[in-house]
Homo-oligomer: A and B are copies of this chain.
Amino acid sequence: MEGYVYTVKRQLPPRFAEFVSLAHTVAISIDLHRGHLSEDPDCPCPAPRARDVVEGVNRFHVAARRLGVPVIHVRSTLRAGGVDDVNGVPSAWRITFPLHVGDIPNAGAHALAGSRWTEFVTEVAPGDLIVDGKKRLSAFYPTDLDFLLRNLGAKRVVLTGCMTDCCVLNTAFDASNLGYRVTVLADLVRGTDETLEAAALAMISLHIGVVADSGDLLAEWRRAGAGVRP
């Protein structure tokens, strides 16, 4: 199958079968909730470029479910009251990101449990799994994602969502370190801007795993798996 190496799309050698095999694969969608995607001026942590992937992620999830691939939706949630962040050790992005994008007026409301900002924009089907309580950049921290993947018997993860150059990249690093084979879908992730998005995908392709388009991965799954998941 084809994947991106650095920024060039190429045929991947046979050894990559262990990354893109259908068996024991889990799809993980990162932070596609209103807190990043809302068009409301009060959106507490805007990632507007990622609105473009919502429909594609939904379509990918439909296909994944049909092939028996579990779908996990990860979302950031912080305890109301701020103890986890603004009143504890504040997340670094609150201090650094405004240097680049300017003041974020409603950032204090980001990810607060029970608020509308934690609602998923993507479709969550019955049988999908939710990982709540992502509190920093990695989907693994401090959540039960690794625990869940162990209980699912997962060996491979396929990542979508936002943002490519922070939470997706950090999650890809952690998943790879933990021994999972990682694929990131280039058409279903979005970064801060085109430059950092492309650079993050290049890093992933060099150090972490497969960067591919969702259509190519689904074609590979269908070819190899014929719809049967061991």
Contacts and interface: CB of A to CB of B under 8 A. Distances in A.
Interface in A184-202: 192, 195-196, 199-200, 202
Contacts of A206: 93, 96-97, 99-100, 165-166, 192, 196
A216 interface: no
Contacts of A170: 170, 173, 177
Chain copies in the assembly? 4
Contacts of A146: 142
Contacts of A10: 99
Give the 7 A-B residue pairs with the shortest CB-CB distance, closest first.
A88-B151, A199-B199, A142-B147, A142-B144, A136-B177, A166-B207, A170-B173
Interface of A: 5-6, 10, 12-13, 15-16, 19, 79, 81, 83-85, 88-89, 92-93, 95-97, 99-100, 127, 129-130, 132-133, 135-138, 141-144, 146-148, 150-153, 165-166, 169-170, 173-174, 176-179, 181-182, 192, 195-196, 199-200, 202-203, 205-210
